[in-house]
Structure 1
Amino acid sequence: MNPSRPSMTFTLPPVPERVRAVVSRLPVRPPSALLALALNRLWWPLLDESARRGLAGRVVELHVDDLGLSCRLVADRSGLHAARGSQAPSVRLRAAAATYWRLLQGQDDPDTLFFERALVMEGDTEFGLFLKNTLDAVGPIELWRRRADRR
């Protein structure tokens, strides 16, 4: 846990089976488009041009195990978008919702979660490392500060 982290943290409750049953039936595109919209607002403006070029055209799939939810994103010059189903992912990340939430808040280190198998990465290892380093460069605290500054 990061001691400089604002006290806005809370734990996600377990996902009820009824919720999972509904969410797991959702098509991939709507939640992907929603996630792209949020990341374009909060994260994309914080990236430098070389990071944006490195992400361009690469599909990242995020799977939230306990929700049965998948999101597929691809970047271009204008930002992130929902990836078409025909585009194979370069990297696939799998974790529980609470794990992603803790990462967003900066409570957990992605390397630790990876070695504990709470966060699983499959696919292009070199691109996965680039993505991790890009996320680390921005950092969760920067995302929260930017959000707090808008209020």
Structure 2
Amino acid sequence: MIVSLPDKQKLLPAVPKLIAKPLVYMPFALQKKLLSRLLQQIFSEALADGDCEFLQGSWLKVAITDLNISWLFGCNEKNEILINKNGLADVTIEGNLNSFILLAARKEDPDTLFFQRQLTIGGDTELGLQVKNLLDNIELDVLPPIINLSIRCGAEYISLFSKSESEYQ
């Protein structure tokens, strides 16, 4: 039996999604624990300064559309980040994995991603703008080194190998 390998032109852009796919199958309790630790670290200064108070009583939904995964984030009176799997969101930000990686690594401006419809926002856009402004003030250096390196390398990879289907034909 002859097995043909996938065309590298189609495989290379899919690598970040393939690497992240196990996240979809991870039990929510584990996702929540990992995200909670990471977000508490990333936003520790903002939480201490009260910069996340606007999220108290509100929910932000982040959906990675190509992985079919989403989370709801909020903040309580004790300045702790809350994470839920299901519920009603006040604002929703959706996009594919590559867009979120480029955004996290600051390789793409959020406004550019929104105008290009690679990220979409729905619901309370004022709340979404507050979230965007909060994220703009976060420095990548507060991330654990392995996460920081992964995001930066992922963004470089995406920048090098992600092209639209029409560019390959």
- Fold conserved (TM > 0.5)? yes
Counterpart Cα distance in 1 of 2:64 and 2:108:
17
Please state if 1:67 is matched with 2:64.
no
Tell whether 2:119 aligns with 1:119: yes
The Cα shift of 1:28 comes to: 5.4
Return 5+ residue gaps in structure 2 as ranges. Answer: 1-12, 146-169
Q: 1:78 to 1:110 in 2, by over 3 A?
A: same
5 Å-filtered alignment, 1:9-88, equals 13-16=15-18, 19=21, 23=24, 30-47=30-47, 49-76=49-76, 77-83=78-84, 85-86=86-87, 88=88
Q: Runs of 5+ in structure 1 lacking a partner?
A: 1-10
Structure 1 residues 30 and 39: alpha-carbon distance in aligned structure 2, compared to 1, 3 A threshold: same
1:61 alignment partner, SS class: strand
Q: Distance in 1 between matches of 2:27 and 2:91?
A: 20
**RMSD after superposition:** 2.7
CA contact (8 A) 1:58 1:89 kept: yes
- Report the CA distance shift for 1:30/1:61 in structure 2 as closer, same or farther (over 3 A): farther
- Cα drift, residue 50 of structure 1: 4.0
1:62–1:72 Cα contact (<8 Å) kept: yes
Deviation at 1:45, TM superposition (A): 2.6
Show the counterpart of 1:97. Answer: 97
Distance in 1 of aligned mates of 2:85 and 2:15: 31
Alpha-carbon displacement from aligned partner over 1:18-53 (angstroms, at most 9, x marks no partner)? x48x82x66756534432321111223345634221
> Under a length normalisation based on structure 2, what TM-score does the superposition of the two structures give?
0.64
2:17 partner SS: coil
Give distance in 2, aligned partners of 1:80 and 1:96.
23
Q: 1:144 aligns with which of 132, 141, 152?
A: 141
> Taking structure 1 as the reference length, what is the TM-score of the superposition?
0.71
Q: Distance in 2 between matches of 1:146 and 1:33?
A: 16
Deviation at 1:143, TM superposition (A): 2.3
Equivalenced residue count is: 130
